[in-house]
Structure 1
Amino acid sequence: MSEWRRRGLLALAGVGMGAGQAPFSLWWLALLALGAVLWLLPGAASLRGAALRGWWAGAGYVLATHFWIIDPFLVDPVRHGWMAPFALLGMAGGLALIFGAGTALAHWLGWNAQSRGLALIPALLLAELFRAYGLTGFPWAPLGSLWLETPVAQTAALWGVHGLGALTLCLLLVPMALRARPGLAMGAALLSLATVAGLWHWGAGRMNVPQEPTGQVVRVVQPNAAQHLKWDPAYMPVFFNRARELTAIAGPEGARPDLIVWPETSVPALLHHADNLIAAIEEAAQGVPVLFGVQRSEAGLYYNSLGALREGEVQIYDKRHLVPFGEYMPFGELLSQWGITHLASAQGYGYAPGPEGQALLDLGPLGKGLPLICYEGIFPQDLRGFPERADWLVLVTNDAWFGQLTMPYAHLDQARMRAIETGLPMIRAANTGISAVIDAEGRVITRLGLGETGYADAPLPPPRAETPYARLGDLPVLLWGLAFLLALGAGRIAIDRRRRAS
């Protein structure tokens, strides 16, 4: 086929790969589409051609999984609407460069079709890791998350979502790379099927191991504040009072929960001006600890924070991993001259990052919680910067920025993957949904849907033993990928020397 037709098919297959992500979660269709991409990628005539093939596939995948990026610009369309198409096309084109770099690296390392096919495994793995860590990182819709609705996802406790992505590449690419030898290819395909069956069985067994209940009940509060009204002075007290009333409601037979969690920025005042609001929360909670999202300032800097109100005292966690162009503006003073400003913070050029090494939230009999604010929940590495292991995870977020089509569902799935990776349950409070309590196997115990106003009480699931991934992170997968690349590089050098000698 012509090269342009191949690139078009790669883009379409990249879109098909997006079917594995929420809310569709069609893992089998995503695997077929990924297989088509991996079949079409090798065989380019040049390094540039290989990079372009990867770019087209990556652009299709990013467009399918990131198109919600336009929604924040439409909250205030007069001010920001003009940026929406540039944001979508810039994100798709920019992130696709990472995929293109991976396919170019595989082409350069290989010396024939078979070796170039195998080289895609470590090359695309390293591309995914760069997407997660490089330039502050943005690992949205990682490849391995397509397995989330299957027991295979439980293996993320061993090697994380990026390790699961690398395994997926191995399962598909090894049989393809051996297609010139039908017998070996058939054996490799059967081995891939057997591997999936074995991991499926292992994951199902992990999910069925009974866990001792904690005996504690948590409540997530969802005030459902529409983003275009959230900071309207006429509506701020309405949304705050709504959350306060949901906090005050007694459970069956007058029972009270053991912990109440409000969403991100749910207190409509800076913390040092919010004494009356904090007192109102404490009165409504009737002695129950409350976690709440709030903004605060200190020494001229502003922070997106999580407050933990217990026995009249407030512990503070400041968000460390901020959203570029949303919560802070790189080169803000310069870009503001062209009308390019951040979206989420109304303060100066955005928020400041919180300090590294912050302590866990200590809530006494409830144990210690590892706090995450919105964007931080998509980074597995952000759960590793604390000095001790938590008993549970808590994530507060405001997904009202991002519409109701796909992003809130995919963001929830990211939280589920973090629970599997760490072996810790997660409490997730979202302003407009989806709020949920998630167990340590990534299952949703209870949830409040998009656009609902209300609260949900649920037993706090118990933690599992610390997982291998929680201890080691992505380092083993990175070292494996680098070793694979070095082996291929050594093979290429040996082949080149043999050719020159002949």
Structure 2
Amino acid sequence: MDRLANRVMLLWGVRRAGLAILAGALGALALPPFSFVAALFVSFTLLVWLMDGTASAPQSGRLARWRSTFLIGWLFGFGYFVAGLWWLGNALLVEADEFAWALPLAIFGLPAFLALYYGLATWLAGLLWSDGFGRLAALAASFGLIEWLRGLLFTGFPWNAIGYGVMPIPIMMQSAAAIGIFGVTTLAVFVLSAPALIATRKGAPVGLTLALLMVAAHFGYGAYRLHEQAAPGRFDPPLAIRIVQPVIDQARKMDNGEDRLAVFEEHLALTALPPKPGVRRPDVIVWPETSVPFILTETPGALARIADVLQDGQILIAGVVRMEAGAAGQEPRYYNSIYAIDSQGQIIAATDKVHLTPFGEYLPFERFWNRLGISNIVDMPGGFTAGARHALITLPSGQSFYPLICYEAIFPNELTSDVSRAAALLNITNDAWFGRTPGPYQHFQQARIRAVETGLPLIRGANSGISASVDGYGQIKEGLDFDQKGVIDSTLSGAFVPSWDIYTRETHFWLLIIMMFLIAGISRMGLKMRLN
């Protein structure tokens, strides 16, 4: 292993750049649907050795060293994000005649931008780089901090944070309840980088011991939490939920004409299916995001048709496009919304999507892009308008759902204090845009982690999958795989799982960051003293 480490450290030029890209791409194998965690150990071990080579190479000055450490991280990130996000290009093929030209931007342009974050992470780690286990702490703190920033800057896009790669099963998810996804990322990078110490040896006994203790704590806390006594349930009496997964081709929903009414009727037909013998009649039926392919309140008879299908006391929760009439001379406003509709066909609750998808649901600097002939992927005049705030969906029984529309589920820091009053998380989405690619599986995993972080069960309805009923430990109770048409009948009677609140998780995360930077700083100071 010593020889391998030395060969990696001595690489230069194209070979060095190629290995950095390959190391990042290899790490993406740890993400769903592959969930091959060992790939990240290889990935980060190679990254440490590449950083070692940069730190030990003769440089013309500080700026040259900074440029080298940044470039290593950028190349690593480029490989990771291309391999992990290439499927985004599939959304452009739904209307290929209009958007196929943008495939290179989706497959390579966005990863090139996101890789800047990883370049900043390795540059920051390089400032505190040393020859012992302290350099692992520098890398861990830097990645944890930069991943946190990636979830905030430029509207945020924390998709596929490194921590998701080490949480393939429930026992490995529970640490997120205490330190959040970014805290898990911080500890994960330290552990994943630890094998590099076996070859370089300096600080190996202490560094490997710390890594093993972190792994033991990760699994130990997971085992403890999965076997702890949960708090009393928030569903009294139990609530029977039906999740409808209709598997509607995206092109059908976008076509005008009678096919839209046929799509609506397909949802109603699945809603009306009798439950299996011994299974309760559903109290609440959930349709996916934008499941109604027209403006519901502007379509005569649509609400009455829903009332015809719903039985007394049943509630339909449906993803819709909501329209508000504009002022004189102005275009109407459109919202990506959720309606709760009772068995009389009345809308009893509504909420709008707050965090819209750039270039999907709205165009930043729209006038500039329109002058270049570039339009929004979702064909809506002016795009969607963002809602003012997350509003709970409250049922007549008094129980409330915390709504997360589509990719709102990937933002842990945007859960408001209202989540403490909710009985469950409700995530509706339409991942049909991305086809049978890793995208829907990655999205589902991130939604599961929100359930673990909050301790709330998750009701997830997706047009083409993955739909599921998930408990507060991230365990799947019932589910339908991608492209599997049907319904899920599940009962929400499970207990509420006590969890740290968002403020406590953030405090734990920042304490981890400070601790890692302190270890890195002390190690760096020790190296300077030895050199002097």
- TM-score, length-scaled by structure 2: 0.86
**Equivalent residues of 1:423, 1:463 under 8 A apart:** no
**Equivalent residues of 2:92, 2:99 under 8 A apart:** yes
The alignment status of 1:18 with 2:43, answered yes or no, reads no
CA drift of 1:90 comes to: 0.8
Partner of 2:322: 296
Partner of 2:407: 375
CA drift of 1:284 comes to: 1.1
Partner of 1:333: 367
Name the CA distance, whole Å, in 2 between partners of 1:102 and 1:136. 19
In the alignment, which of 301, 306, 310 is matched to residue 281 of structure 1?
306
Between 149-158 and 482-491, the greater mean CA deviation after superposition: 482-491
Name the CA distance, whole Å, in 1 between partners of 2:498 and 2:120. 35
In the alignment, which of 168, 189, 207 is matched to residue 208 of structure 2?
189
Partner of 1:472: 504
Partner of 2:263: 239
Matched to 1:467, the amino acid is S
The alignment status of 1:7 with 2:41, answered yes or no, reads no
Name the CA distance, whole Å, in 2 between partners of 1:161 and 1:21. 14
Distance change (3 Å), C-alpha of 1:94 and 1:475: farther
What does 1:301-380 align with in structure 2 at a 5 Å threshold?
301-310=333-342, 312-344=346-378, 346-356=379-389, 358-365=390-397, 367-380=399-412
Between 395-404 and 166-175, the greater mean CA deviation after superposition: 166-175
Please give the secondary structure, in 2, of the residue aligned with 1:386.
helix
Partner of 2:61: none
Name the CA distance, whole Å, in 2 between partners of 1:200 and 1:499. 37
Give the length in aligned residue pairs: 497
Distance change (3 Å), C-alpha of 1:195 and 1:110: closer
Matched to 1:190, the amino acid is T
Name the CA distance, whole Å, in 1 between partners of 2:413 and 2:142. 21
- 1:363-403 per-residue CA deviation (whole Å, 9 max, x = no partner) reads 13361100010010111123235374311011110001111
The alignment status of 1:90 with 2:109, answered yes or no, reads yes
Identity of aligned residues (%): 35
Partner of 2:425: 393
**Equivalent residues of 1:439, 1:461 under 8 A apart:** no
Distance change (3 Å), C-alpha of 1:114 and 1:208: closer
Distance change (3 Å), C-alpha of 1:475 and 1:350: farther
CA drift of 1:186 comes to: 2.6
Name the CA distance, whole Å, in 2 between partners of 1:476 and 1:199. 15
The alignment status of 1:161 with 2:186, answered yes or no, reads no
Name the CA distance, whole Å, in 2 between partners of 1:367 and 1:297. 27
Please give the secondary structure, in 1, of the residue aligned with 2:444.
helix
**Equivalent residues of 1:102, 1:127 under 8 A apart:** yes
**Equivalent residues of 2:133, 2:204 under 8 A apart:** no
The alignment status of 1:270 with 2:295, answered yes or no, reads yes
Please give the secondary structure, in 2, of the residue aligned with 1:474.
helix
Name the CA distance, whole Å, in 2 between partners of 1:96 and 1:396. 29
**Equivalent residues of 1:222, 1:262 under 8 A apart:** yes
The alignment status of 1:35 with 2:50, answered yes or no, reads no
Distance change (3 Å), C-alpha of 1:190 and 1:495: closer
Please give the secondary structure, in 1, of the residue aligned with 2:418.
coil
**Equivalent residues of 1:362, 1:368 under 8 A apart:** yes
Name the CA distance, whole Å, in 2 between partners of 1:268 and 1:341. 21
Name the CA distance, whole Å, in 1 between partners of 2:512 and 2:484. 45
CA drift of 1:451 comes to: 1.7
The alignment status of 1:434 with 2:453, answered yes or no, reads no
Name the CA distance, whole Å, in 2 between partners of 1:285 and 1:49. 63
Name the CA distance, whole Å, in 1 between partners of 2:200 and 2:462. 52
- TM-score, length-scaled by structure 1: 0.91
RMSD of aligned residue pairs (Cα, Å): 2.6
The alignment status of 1:119 with 2:152, answered yes or no, reads no
Name the CA distance, whole Å, in 1 between partners of 2:210 and 2:514. 24
In the alignment, which of 475, 484, 489 is matched to residue 443 of structure 1?
475
Name the CA distance, whole Å, in 1 between partners of 2:417 and 2:339. 19
Distance change (3 Å), C-alpha of 1:29 and 1:179: closer
CA drift of 1:88 comes to: 1.5
